[in-house]
Structure formats: C-alpha cells, structure tokens
Chains A and B, each alone.
Chain A
Amino acid sequence: MGGYARFVWPCFGFACTVLAWNLWSARRFHAAARQRAGRTLAMSDEN
C-alpha cells in the first residue's frame, strides 16, 4: 500500500464494521418488533 496501509486498511475495516452493525441492528429491530407485536396480540386474545 505504498506506506499508506495504516490508513487504508482501517478505513475498509471500519466500513465492514458499519455495514455489519447495520445488518445486525436492523434484523434485531425487526425481531424485537415481531416479538412485541406477538405479545400485544396474545394479550388482546386473553382479554
């Protein structure tokens, strides 16, 4: 990397981290919403 490796690789590494975090948090957000919706429906069935 012509002496610039310590700048280039951290950029690509951080980009991978941000992309992975986005995927993980979006999946988690949807799963939590599903669970909440399931609980709400179960409670309304009980009532």
Chain B
Amino acid sequence: MWTWFYRLASPPHVYRVAATLIPWFLTAAAFAIGYGAIAGLVFAPPDYQQGDAFRIIYVHAPSGWISMFAYSTMAVAGAIGLIWRIKMGHAVAAAVAPIGASFTVLALVTGSLWGRPMWGTYWAWDPRLTSELILLFLFAGVMSLRPAFEDSNRGDRAAALLSIVGVVNVPIIHYSVLWWNSLHQGATVAKLGKPSMPPSMLLPLLSMMLGFMCFFGAVLCMRLRGEVLNRERQATWVREAIKS
C-alpha cells in the first residue's frame, strides 16, 4: 500500500514523473486560464455594486488561494522531510517557496488595486491584508533561511521547522474575515450553503482557479527537476538524465 509513497522518495522517479506532468499541466492551464480570462473580462456581467471593478476577482482570488495552497504544500513537504527524513520532501519545499511568494505578491498587488476604487485606499491594516502580508514574510524567511546554513541538511531542517510553525497563519488568513471586523468581503465561492455568485460569474472564476492550480503544478515540476539535479548531481543516474 505504501509502495507509491516510497517511490516518491526516489529522486530519479520524481525527476521522470515531473517531466511527464509538465506538458499536461501547461496545456490544461493554457485552456483554463484562456477561457477564464476571456469569459471573465468579456462575457461575465458587471457586478450590481462593484461594477466592472469586480473583474479583478478573476486574478486576485486564484492568486490568493494559490498562495495559501503553496504555503500548506511547503509545510507538509517540509514535515515529510523532517519526520520521515525523505530528501524529496525538502526538495519540494524548496521548489514551492519562490512560486508561493510570487503568487502572494500578485494577491497583494491585485487586492490593493481592487481596494482603491472599493475602499478608497490602496492599503489598510485589515486582518486579511495583514495576515497575507505576514504570509509573504514567512515565504521570504523560509527562502533566506535555507541557504543561510553551510550544511544544507541543517538548512533544510530549519526551513522546514519555520514553515511548519508558520502554517498557523493559513487558517488565520482564511477565517480572518469571519473572526474580526474586516473591510475585506466574506467568502464568495467556498460557502457551505451556496456560492453568492451566478454561474455566468462563477464559472470563469472556477476556471481561473483550476488554471492557476495547473500552472502552479507545471512550474513546481520544473523547479523540482532543477532542485533534484542540484541535490543529486553526484549520483550516477544524473549522467543518463542530463544526456536525454
């Protein structure tokens, strides 16, 4: 039952599987983002309160979602590396960090551009915005901690510990709009009852989320291949791998 799990620990296997997945992820991302962007910008009706400014949601919500997903992935991968001493766990965590940081920046910038017409300001020390900014600092901390150690194993362990401790921020981001008085609007899609959007607005958003997810998968596989090569460059299988 655990065979698949142990195979994931094998660097050559990970290197090969990642290469196979990249074109699939990229193709799916191109279609989903293409449809989501066109449908969101052209065919979705303007919001009755926010007008056309609501279209920012099509890049803001998926990027915010990916930023949290990336951080959780990094923490889980770090925990796997730390607990089971699986090197690939640390490799995944290292590969995820810059991608997650870039999507966090995207979420903050697009949120800020949305805030100006809706709230009258580019920035407010609102719980959702502040916790998302803390997420960016956590990504930056994890990225700078890893190379700060001469011994790469110690760097991996320290980065994994920080990412595990920081994962407490993820539910805070998600529930901040419920726990505190917030300028930020509440959940629109992930509501237990029914999403507060009509299908003409919701479908492009779901498509963009799927597209961003696939794009994240593709870029993660690319970075992971580089990370595996960096860590395994003395191994014999690398000779065959870089020839092909």
Contact = CB atoms under 8 A, between A and B. Distances in A.
Contacts of B56: 7-8, 11
Classify the interface of chain A: helix, strand, loop or mixed: helix
Contacts of B215: 19, 22
B234 A40 contact: yes
A36 B215 CA distance: 26
Chain B's interface: helix, strand, loop or mixed, by majority?
helix
Contact of A18 (B106, B117, B233): B106
A-B pairs with lowest CB-CB distance, top 3: A26-B222, A33-B226, A30-B226
Interface in B203-244: 215, 219, 222-223, 225-227, 229-230, 232-234, 238-239, 242
Contacts of A21: 102
B139 interface: no
Q: How large is the interface on B (under 10, 10 to 19, 20 to 34, 35 or more residues)?
A: 35 or more
Given A19-B215, A36-B233, A8 B53 contact: yes
A15 B61 CA distance: 12
Interface of A: 1-5, 7-8, 10-12, 14-15, 18-19, 21-23, 25-27, 29-34, 36-38, 40-41, 44
A11 B223 contact: no
Contacts of B232: 37
A44 B98 CA distance: 31
Interface stretch (B107-115, B127-135, B160-168, B182-190): B107-115
Contacts of B223: 26, 29-30
Contacts of A38: 242
Nearest to B235: A37
B87 interface: no
Nearest to A35: B242
